[in-house]
Structure 1
Amino acid sequence: MNDPRTLAGKRVLLVIAGGIAAYKSLELIRRLRERGCAVRAILTAAGARFVTPLSVQALTEDTVYQDLWNLTDESEMGHIQLSRSADLVVVAPATADLLARMTAGMADDLAATALLATDKPVLVAPAMNVRMWLHPATQANMETLKARGVRVVGPNEGDMACGEHGPGRMAEPMEILAAIAGLLAEQAGPRPLAGRTALVTSGPTHEPIDPVRYIANRSSGRQGHAIAAALAARGARVTLVTGPTQQPDPPGCAVVQIESAREMLAACEASLPVDVAVFNAAVADWRVAGEADQKMKKDGGGPPTLSLVENPDILATVARAGALRPALVIGFAAETRDVVAYAQAKRARKGCDWIVANDVSPATGTFGGAENTVHLIMGDKVEDWPRMGKDGVAARLADRIAEALAPSAGTAQ
C-alpha cells in the first residue's frame, strides 16, 4: 500500500548495512521523502563502503549517524533517543551478519545497539548470497526474529551480484515502501476493515503441457499483491491465492500458493465465506486437454497438436456461490481495446458487483510494470482514475471497498 496519507508526517530510522543492495536504500530514502516522511539514517562501517555518508545526508537532509563512540553525536542525539525517536525502524539492506547480531542481542556497534534499544516496530529487508540466505543458521535467525515481532519484506529471487541466482535479492524500494506504509497504517489506530474478511487472487496461472512446459501469460502479480497488502493494512483478514510470481508475500496476509486455474478455484472455494473477494489473477482461459506425463520430444514429424479445453470461470463461480457469495465481488478486466465497453459486458456476464478495467496493450507497460490506468465500473457508474502506481491503485480500491462495506453504506452495488 503506497498511500501518501499513511507516510506524511511519519519518521523512519533507516539502518543501512553493508552490501551491494545498499544503493537501493538511496532510492528508498527519496521515495519516502517525496511522500512527506522524515528519514534519519544509521550507516554501518560496511555500509559506508557501498554508499557514501554525503549521499545519504543529501537525500535525508539530516545527520548521518555512524559511530557509537562519537561524542558529538551522542551529546546531540544519544543512541537511546535515536532508537526511539522514529515511528518505525527499517533495516535495508539487512545482511546475514546484522541479522545474526540482532538475534543474539549484540550491541557492538551503533546499528546493533539502536536495534537492541528500540521500542518501536522493526522491519528488515534481507539481502545476501543465496547460499547464505538458505543456510540453516540464517533461516533459524529469521524465525527467531519473526517470533519476536520483527517484520520482513523479501528477499526476492533473481540474479545476484556474485553471479548466482536464487532467493536473496533485497526487495525493490517500492516493495519496501509498501511494507513500511502497511506497518504505519497498522499503528494508526482504528482501521475501517477491522473484523472484515477478504479473498484476493493474484498472478498468472500455469497450465501444464508436459512436465517442463506450460501455458501462461505475462502477469507479474504486483497489482494483486498490492491489493492484498492494502486490505490487510486497513484491518481486513486477507487470504491471498496466488499463482507463480516473484513478488514477496504481503505483510499480514495468509498466502496460498497454486499453479493451475483448477487449483486456484479450489483454494478460493475453500476460503469462503468472506466479505469481499477481489479477482485480480490473470487466469489462463484454456488448458491442454491431455497433459503429457513425459517431456514431449521433437521426432521429425512436426510440432504436436495441442487440444485445448476451457478452464473453470473462477470469478463467475464465486459470484454465483449462493449463500457463500461474498457481499462484494470484484473482477478485473484486462483489455487491449474498447476497455470500458468490454468490461461492462464482462461485469454483466460474470455476475460480479464491480469490475476494475485496465488497458494492458503493449504500449502501456501494465503487464510487468509498476503503473496502471484503471476504470472502476459499478453498475452504470464509471470512475476514471488517473494513471498511478499499482500501490496507489490498490490503496484507492481498498478505500472504496471500505466505504462500500461500512455499516451505513447499504448494498455493495
Structure 2
Amino acid sequence: MSVAGKRILLGVTGSISAYKSALLVRLLVKAGAEVQVVMTESAQMFITPLTLATLSKRPVLSAFVTSQHDRPGDSSWNNHVELGLWADAIVIAPASAHTLARCATGFCDDLLSAVYLSARCPVFFAPAMDVDMYHHPTTVENLRRLESFGNHIIRAEYGELASGLVGEGRLAEPEAIIQTLDAFWTGSRDQHLLAGKHVLITAGPTQESIDPVRYISNHSTGKMGYAIARAFAKAGAGVTLVSGPTALNLPAPGIRRVDVRSAQEMFEATQVAFADADIVVLSAAVADYTPAYPADRKIKKKEAVFSLELTQTIDIAATLGAQKRPGQLLMGFALETDNERENALKKLHVKNLDWIVLNSLRDLGAGFGHDTNKITVIDKEEQAHEFALKSKDEVAQDLVSLVLKSL
C-alpha cells in the first residue's frame, strides 16, 4: 500500500465517531505507516488516549505548554512546528464541526489547530456530525474554505446517525480513509499529466417544464458528475462543468460551472464549450422527452385523466459524437435496467463514443442518490473494465486513470 513508510499525524476530535479512530490507527500501522495521534480535549471524553497510544505504539499528544516551567523533554510540552514538519500527511478524523470552524478561520487554541497551521504536508479532513449540522450553511462554507486552501475533504457518508436520524454525516469508514490516502499518493505521479487539457463534463438532471409550476425530471443528484469534475481538476485539467439543478457546491476551486435547467439549455451550453474540449464526459441524466406545448399558466385539475404530449429532446451525446474531431475523447454514461451490456454497446457505437460507462439499477449501492457506484467501462474495441462498488470519488479517479492510460 502507498501509506507504507509514511508518517501520518492523526487528529482525533470530539465526536461520537472517535471510536472509529482506534480501527483507523490499527489499519494504518498494519499497512506500514508511522502514526502519531494528537487528541483534542473533548475527544478524550469519547475514547481514552491509552487505547490509541497502545495501538499506535506512541504516546498520544494533546497539550500545549501548560506553564512557564514546561520545557522540551517534559511530557506536557509538544512542539507543533516539529510535528507539522514531521508528518507526510495530517488526517483529522473525525473532524467535528467545531474543529472545522476553528481550522477554516485560523483559530489556534489547542495543539491540533497549531499543528494544522504549521503543516507543510497534505491535510485531510474527514467530517463527522449529525445530518443537520453537516448541511448547515456554516459547515458547508467551512468545508468549502478548507478545500479552497488546498486541503482534502473525505466526505461524510450516508446512513443512520447516533441521533437516530438517517442522512449524511457519518464518518467515512477507516478502510475508505486509507483508500483515499492510497489514491492520493498513487495518483500524485499523475497530478499534472492533464495540465493544459480542457475537460467538459455534464452532470445532474434536467427539468422539462409542463407549466410554470411543474416539470418532468429524474432522480439524479449530480454526485457522480461532480466527483468526476473534482478528479479531473486535481489531475491538473481545466474543467468546465455544465450542471443541471443540484444542491451541490462547486467541486473544487478553479472549475468553471455553467448552470442550466432544461435539456435544450444543456445542449446549448455543451455546444459552446465542446469546440475547445480535449476530453468530454457526459454523465448528466438528460431527459429524453420534453412537453411539446408547455403551458404559460398553471394547469388546473379538472379531468380525471390528463394527457401530456411529449416530443424528443436533442441527443447531446450523438450530436457531439458526430462533431468529434480527431484526438478528441468522448465518454458517455448508460444507466440500464435490462439488457445492460447490449444497450450500452449500442450507445457506444451509434453515438461514436470512446467509452461508455455502464451502471445498473440492479446493483445495490449504484445509481442515483448513493455516495457509491459500481461501474463497467467498455471502450470502442469492446474491451470491458469492471470495477467493484466504490465511493463515487474513487470511481471518478478510476475514470481519470483510464483517460490517462489512453493518452
Preserved contact between residue 191 and residue 234 of structure 2 (Cα < 8 Å): no
Cross-structure match for 1:12: 8
The more displaced of 214-223 and 231-240 is 214-223
Distance 1:105 1:401, change over 3 A: closer
Q: Match for 1:401 among 400, 403, 406?
A: 403
Query: What are the within-5 Å matches in structure 2 for residues 100-111 of structure 1?
Result: 100-102=101-103, 105-111=106-112
The aligned length equals 393
What per-residue deviation string (whole Å, max 9, x for no partner) do you get for residues 56-113 of structure 1? 56776755432335966567x7433322222222334444543454466444321122
Change in CA separation of 1:104 and 1:355 when aligned onto 2, cut-off 3 Å: closer
SS in structure 2 opposite 1:115? helix
- Distance in structure 2 (CA, Å) of the matches to 1:159 and 1:296: 40
What is the Cα-based RMSD across aligned positions, in Å? 4.3
Matches of 1:131 and 1:365 in 2, distance apart?
22
- 1:408 corresponds in structure 2 to none
Which letter does structure 1 place at the counterpart of 2:263? Answer: A
Asked whether 1:41 is paired with 2:43, we answer no
1:319, 1:326 within 8 Å by CA — same for their partners in 2?
no
Residue 329 of structure 1 deviates from its aligned partner by 0.8
Letter in 2 for 1:277: V
1-structure distance, mates of 2:305, 2:22: 50
Mapped to 1, the partners of 2:224 and 2:14 lie a distance apart of 31
Local SS of the residue matching 1:198? strand
Residue in structure 1 matched with residue 292 of structure 2 by the alignment: 289
For 1:43 and 1:332, the matched residues in 2 are separated by 44
Give the structure 1 partner of residue 272 of structure 2. 270
Aligned-partner residue type, residue 362 of structure 1: R
Q: Which amino acid in structure 2 is aligned with residue 372 of structure 1? A: K
SS in 1 for 2:397: helix
Aligned partner of 1:361 in structure 2 is: 361
Superposition pairs of residues 77-226 of structure 1, within 5 angstroms = 78-95=79-96, 97-102=98-103, 105-125=106-126, 130=133, 133-134=136-137, 149-150=150-151, 169=169, 172=172, 184=185, 188=189, 191-210=192-211, 213-226=214-227
Q: How far apart, CA to CA, are the structure 1 residues paired with 2:253 and 2:366?
A: 26
Q: 1:49 Cα shift?
A: 2.9
Return 5+ residue gaps in structure 2 as ranges.
67-72
Task: Give the stretch that moved more between structures: 307-316 or 392-401.
Answer: 392-401
Taking every aligned residue pair, what percent have the same amino acid on both sides?
A: 35
Give CA-to-partner distance per residue, 1:306-329, whole Å, 9 cap, x none.
222222212122222356x86111
Q: Taking structure 1 as the reference length, what is the TM-score of the superposition?
A: 0.74
Task: Work out whether residues 229 and 241 of structure 2, in 8 Å CA contact, stay in contact via their aligned partners in 1.
Answer: yes
Structure 1 equivalent of residue 374 of structure 2? 372
Distance 1:44 1:353 in 2: 50
Q: Which has the higher contact order (CA 8 A, sep 6+)?
A: 1
Q: Residue in 1 aligned with 2:70? A: none
Amino acid in the other structure paired with 1:65: L
Tell me if 1:313 matches 2:315.
yes
